[in-house]
């Protein structure tokens, strides 16, 4: 079983749609959780950290469920510019960062 698993997609949605991605992790001792965004042929960049209480940044909402060991990302009112691959990242107990394979999103006019 992979340490961090994501639905690879692709998710193809119209502008304005709401889309949700899930990610599961295997190590219950994991400490920190993140969503990174990666545009085609570019480096990943931090989108948002995921806190235990859940957190929101504009149209983006991240949730953490430690009991079930999953993380979610919700994007409301999708924009064309949201098209990218979204990477779930978990900071492991020995302090290295493990990545999911990514979920690809395409937002269409």
Partner 1 sequence: DADVTQTPRNRITKTGKRIMLECSQTKGHDRMYWYRQDPGLGLRLIYYSFDVKDINKGEISDGYSVSRQAQAKFSLSLESAIPNQTALYFCATRDRGSGSIAGELFFGEGSRLTVL
Residues near partner 1 (CB under 8 A) are: 4, 8, 31-32, 34, 36, 41-46, 49, 87, 89, 91, 95-102
Residue 4 CB, shortest distance to partner 1, in Å, is 8
Secondary structure, 3-state, 7-74? CCCCEEEECCCCEEEEEEECCCCCCEEEEEEECCCCCCEEEEEECCCCEEECCEEEEEECCCCEEEEE
Token pair, residue 28, equals: 């219950």
Residue 14 CB, shortest distance to partner 1, in Å, is 26
Residue 73 CB, shortest distance to partner 1, in Å, is 15
Query: Measured from the CB atom, is 76 or 98 closer to partner 1?
Result: 98
């Amino acid at each position: 079983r992979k340490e961090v698993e994501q639905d690879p997609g692709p998710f193809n949605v119209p502008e304005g749609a709401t889309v949700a991605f899930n990610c599961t992790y295997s190590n219950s001792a994991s400490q920190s959780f993140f969503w990174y965004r990666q545009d085609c042929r570019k480096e990943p960049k931090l989108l948002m950290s995921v806190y235990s209480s859940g957190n929101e940044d504009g149209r983006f909402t991240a949730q953490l469920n430690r009991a079930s060991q999953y993380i979610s990302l919700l994007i409301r009112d999708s924009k064309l510019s949201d098209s990218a691959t979204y990477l779930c990242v978990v900071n492991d107990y020995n302090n290295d960062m493990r990545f999911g394979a990514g979920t690809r999103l395409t937002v269409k006019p």
